Amino acid sequence: MGEVGKALRDAAQRLAAVSDTPRLDAELLMAHALGIERQALLLDPARHDVPAGFDALVARRMAHEPVAYILGYRDFWTIRLAIGPGVLIPRPDSETLIEAAVDHFRAAPPQTILDLGTGPGTLLFAALAEWPDARGLGVDASDVALDYARANAAALGMADRAALVKGDWAAGVASRFDLILCNPPYIADSEALMPDVADHEPAGALFAGADGLGDYRRIIPDLPRLVAPGGAAILEIGHAQRISVSELARAAGFAVACKQDLAGRDRALLLTRA
């Protein structure tokens, strides 16, 4: 593997102090510095020389800057999303919501999709990629997030299928939707987070009051008027919030099912009319 191989090993050893995935981080940063995809790097690392900018990228990661911000993108489901500071980084756990939607709508695809708190368009565009005939609406309170979402809609060729608006959850949304997706803030204000998250990602997309349930209490009671007949709402939850959020959903008249993420943790609640 030559010099690139040595540089990757050295970087991974250093990054182990700040990352749970040091080798992956090193490979992504090396590929980014080379201007190639990680897969191309892994196929033939010996053909490349270590680029001059690699050490600077590693230094940024050593300072706890998230890899996704350094790269300027994050892959999610089947799509690539441009992201940056001020935007919640898409996480693999959130793919559980798309998996739950695919399972639920196997017989009849959704035609209309609402993503509350869309961020850079994460769940909305993943769903629109899954169902090419569907149209969607993404709502977010952040201008920064919506700027990224609009850029991603254009890059993914979805600008004519996705409306993106600034809003306070579903206030002002009058239509009904076959599928509603939502990954709200659900972390308690007192909870300590890793420096990668706490020092870089937007607090408004993370924290939700003393018990982490503040936004669910606003969102869930408003859902009955928004879910079309035969439709479903799918909410991301923290791994210990299944009971408390399910109680809110049942009080609003929904039947509730839970889907686990790849680690076996409760991650998505599927709400349908009881």
CATH architecture of 2-63: Orthogonal Bundle (1.10)
Whole-number mean pLDDT of the chain?
95
Residue range 194-206: mean pLDDT, rounded: 85
C-alpha 120 chain-centroid distance? 8
Task: Read off the pLDDT band of 2 (50, 70, 90).
Answer: low
117-168 pLDDT per residue, tens: 999 999 999 999 999 999 999 999 999 999 999 999 999 999 999 999 999 9
pLDDT at 1 over 60: no
> Element (H or E) spanning 4, and its range?
helix 2-15
pLDDT recorded at residue 255: 98
Domain 85-273, classified CATH 3.40.50.150, yes or no: yes
User: Looking at this protein, which amino acid is placed at residue 42?
Assistant: L
199, pLDDT greater than 90: no
Q: In the predicted model, what is the mean pLDDT of residues 210-230?
A: 95
What's the angle, vertex CA 121, arms to CA 20 and CA 113, rounded to 5?
A: 125
162-166 vs 177-182, strand pairing mode: unpaired
Q: Partners of 269 in the beta sheet?
A: 235, 258
- The model's confidence at residue 103, banded by pLDDT at 50, 70 and 90, is very high
- pTM: predicted TM-score of the whole model, two decimal places: 0.94
Query: What is the DSSP pairing of strand 254-260 with strand 227-236?
Result: unpaired
50 has a pLDDT exceeding 60: yes
Task: Supply the pLDDT for residue 13.
Answer: 98
180-184: average pLDDT: 98
Cα atoms found within 13 Å of the Cα of residue 229, Cβ hemisphere only:
0
| Domain assignments of the chain as residue spans, ordered by start | 2-63, 85-273
Interstrand relation of 266-273 and 227-236 (parallel, antiparallel or unpaired)? antiparallel
**DSSP per residue, 114-164:** EEET-TTTHHHHHHHHH-TT-EEEEEES-HHHHHHHHHHHHHTT-TTTEEE
Q: What DSSP line would sit under 5-40, residue for residue?
A: HHHHHHHHHHHTTT-S-HHHHHHHHHHHHHTS-HHH
DSSP codes of every residue in 210-269: SSS-HHHHHHGGGSTTTEEEEEEEEEE--TT-HHHHHHHHHHTTEEEEEEE-TTS-EEEE
Q: Decide if pLDDT at 27 tops 90.
A: yes
Helix (H) or strand (E) run with residue 3 in it: helix 2-15
**Average of per-residue pLDDT across 185-192:** 85
